[in-house]
Every structure is written in C-alpha cells, then in structure tokens.
Amino acid sequence: MSEQQANNPLHGVTLEQIVKFLVESYGWDELGQRIDIRCFNNDPSVKSSLKFLRKTPWARKQVEDLYLAMKQCESD
C-alpha cells in the first residue's frame, strides 16, 4: 500500500457507503439542511445523489468532509 493511501481516511470507503451512512445518521431532511444541494432536498435518493456527487467535486468534498467529521467524533 502506498504511503499516500495509508494516510487517506477515505481509502476503501465508497461514495455510496458514505451517502448511506449520512442518510442513516441524519435522514434526508437534516442532511439537506447541513449540505444544501438539490439532490438531498428534492425527491432524494441514493442513486440521484451519487450521480450528482460524482460530477460535482465541490459537493462531493462537502459530503466527504461531513463524513470525516462524524467519524472523528465517533473515535473521540
């Protein structure tokens, strides 16, 4: 394993796993309030969210950052 991947907290975690974890933790309503993007607020689904997030780097970063913050809180 490369040094870079060993230090990457998202290594081995898929975007789908991240979205499902956040939806289970917050629900679509609260997730849409925390990250105000249409795919979370208007007729949300995992499939539509993944499609949008894969094409939109700034939104994906917000989702990944929220996931990492939650995981950090769990480990504290």
Average of per-residue pLDDT across 8-30: 94
Dist. CA 76–CA 60, nearest whole Å: 24
pTM of the model: 0.87
Q: By mean pLDDT, which of 23-27, 51-55, 70-74 is the weakest?
A: 70-74
Q: Residue 45 belongs to a domain with what CATH number?
A: 1.10.720.30
Distance of CA 3 to CAs 11, 50, 71, Å? 12, 28, 21
Is 24 domain-assigned?
yes
Q: What is the chain's percent helix, strand, coil content, to nearest 5? A: 75, 0, 25
- pLDDT at residue 76 is higher than 90: no
Residue 36 and residue 44 in contact, taking contact as beta carbons nearer than 8 Å: no
pLDDT at 10 over 80: yes
Domain hosting residue 55, numbered range = 13-75
2 assigned to some structural domain:
no
How high is the pLDDT of residue 75? Answer: 73
Please give the pLDDT value at position 4: 58
